[in-house]
Amino acid sequence: MATATTIAELAQHVGQTVTLRGWLYNSRSSGKLLFLIVRDGTGLCQCVLEKTDSSADQFAAAKRLGQESSLEVDGVVRADQRSVAGHELAVGNIRIVQDVAGYPITPKAHGTDFLMKHRHLWFRSQRQWAILRIRHTVIDGIRRYFNDRGFILIDTPIFAPAAGEGSQTLFAVDYFGEPVYLAQTGQLYLEATMMAHRKVYCFGPTFRAEKSKTRRHLTEFWMVEPEIAYADIDDVCALAEDFVCELVQRVLRERRAELELLGRDLSKLEAIQKPFHRLTYSQAADILRSDRVRQFLEADLEHAKARVAELTKTIAEKEAERAAPGVKEWKADKLAQEIMDAREELADTEELVHNLPRHMELAAGFQWGGDLGGSDETIIARLHDRPVFVTHYPRGCKAFYMKRNAADPRVVNNLDLLAPEGYGEIIGGSQREDDLNVLLERMKEDGLNEADYDWYLDLRRYGTVPHGGFGLGVERTVAWICGLKHIRETIPYARMMGRIYP
């Protein structure tokens, strides 16, 4: 009898007859040999079926099997360094569970829009498989980090009667005739529980009606928010820094194979070490207006223009090669995929060429008082090889609950953490305003209705202490760690403006 096992465990079964249960990822034949690439959720394995007199029928049936047919394969495990998982299976017997024809996602070329519409199937592709495993490990790492350090998990509500992060991005829902909002943050609720438990965190889905279709914005994303008592902005920065280093190291330890599969430059992740750089907002503003940044962006523009020319040429060459007479089908498919990839990169690069002059203008004309835009963050982040904290923003561009700075009341004790390689903000946080009167003043400035926040103000009436915390967005973190251009592949079912299917 063959032992049922998984591809991940093949190493323990070398020389034995085992059964793998999975799906057909791909197959090719060469004369008397049929190579079935089987995936079973834990990995890929090449299963080799030899055509003999006794296996002729099975060979013919297996050869006709369509991609993603479900099947069980019995065979002997052979160690093989050249094969995908270091092992292959010498097939004895195959049982077909379902013979599939016409699986929509073929090894042929597909555009992103098509793939996003087939998200329910796209999960099975190698890259998507790797990304969601890394996401799993990031989430697991988040939970372990806080649980191991005595933080108490608090589940904050998703129905919220008032804004937590400004009224611009609220999703209203009808709550028995009352308008309430989907949570933009759990922070205010978390602050109350921090007063009871000292160190707490919440972790859940977060909703923002972001009307921009950027690479960084989802309307539904996951955020983890720790909150600590008796802490100032330096304590919050120290926590954020330690936390991010631990997360990256965990992924490097536990998901190296998946990162490699994605083609991630591991040295960039290995460089994520303490201490992170720290800039104040005012310093960041000076940098944005500097000659150094102007020259840097001019070089970017030249580089992008050269890349456009290069890609245009490559695409034309590949088109010609594909259209040439006598091209083999596999070669034509390969070229089609390469052309599609080059076209996507070309579109991105053309967009960059179009946007860069505007980004240069924004940076050069940056006015003290305004929030850093996405392109400004990208510039600052790209100048550093480690994450960089930008602190002490003008209070007018930040949320009402942030602590006014004692030395310079124009700014607040807040922090944004920008990930390197141009990824931008992955963490936003602050020390909180613990003075009742200053908080009330600040709420008036923002036109907030005091009555809506009366319970929150109680926290400043009864035993107020210096405290603070931050929020880290899971998807932006996963995009950065995986080295993805767009946030949409980091969450199983992306919700963005104009995208809600499947």
In the list 43, 75, 141, 429, the residue contacting ligand 4AD (rule: CB under 6 A) is 429
What are 372's two structure tokens?
């850093």
Spatial contact of 340 and 108, defined as CB atoms under 8 Å apart: no
Contact 230, 195 (CB under 8 A): no
Asked if 217 interacts with ligand 4AD (CB under 6 A), we say yes
CB of 91 vs ligand 4AD, minimal distance in Å: 45
Q: Which of 22, 75, 420, 469 binds ligand 4AD (CB under 6 A)?
A: 469
Do residues 262 and 127 make contact, with C-beta atoms less than 8 angstroms apart? yes
How long, in residues, is the chain?
A: 502
Q: Is 218 in the site for ligand 4AD (CB under 6 A)?
A: yes
427, interface contact from Mg ion, ligand 4AD, none, CB < 5-8 Å by kind: ligand 4AD
**Using CB under 6 A, which residues numbered 149 to 178 contact ligand 4AD?**
165
Structure tokens at 76: 């002997």
Q: How far is the CB of 387 from ligand 4AD (least distance, A)?
A: 12
Contacts with ligand 4AD by CB under 6 A: the residue count is: 23
SS3 425: strand
**Residue 374 in contact with residue 424, Cβ under 8 Å?**
yes
Q: CA-based Rg of the chain, rounded to a whole angstrom?
A: 27
CB of 110 to ligand 4AD, least distance (A): 25
Which one of the spans 60-68, 250-258, 384-392, 419-427 is the region binding ligand 4AD (CB under 6 A)? Answer: 419-427
Pick one of 187, 193, 375, 490: the residue that binds ligand 4AD (CB under 6 A): 187
Among 38, 71, 73, 223, indicate the residue that binds ligand 4AD (CB under 6 A): 223
Q: Which does 218 bind (CB under 5 to 8 A by kind): ligand 4AD, Mg ion, none?
A: ligand 4AD
DSSP letter, residue 298 = H
Q: Find the binding residues for ligand 4AD in span 381-410 (CB under 6 A).
A: none
Contact pick of 40, 241, 376, 425 for ligand 4AD (by CB under 6 A): 425
Q: Residue 206, CB half-sphere, CA atoms under 13 Å: how many?
A: 25
Helix (H, G, I), strand (E, B) or coil at 285: helix
8-state DSSP, 397: G
CA-to-CA distance for 223 and 434, rounded, in angstroms? 24
- Compute the distance between CA of residue 447 and CA of residue 81 in angstroms, rounded to an integer: 66
Neighbours of 461 (CB within 10 A): 9
Residue number closest to Mg ion, CB atom: 428
Residues that bind ligand 4AD (CB under 6 A): 165, 185, 187, 208, 210, 217-218, 221, 223, 225, 425-430, 469-473, 475-476
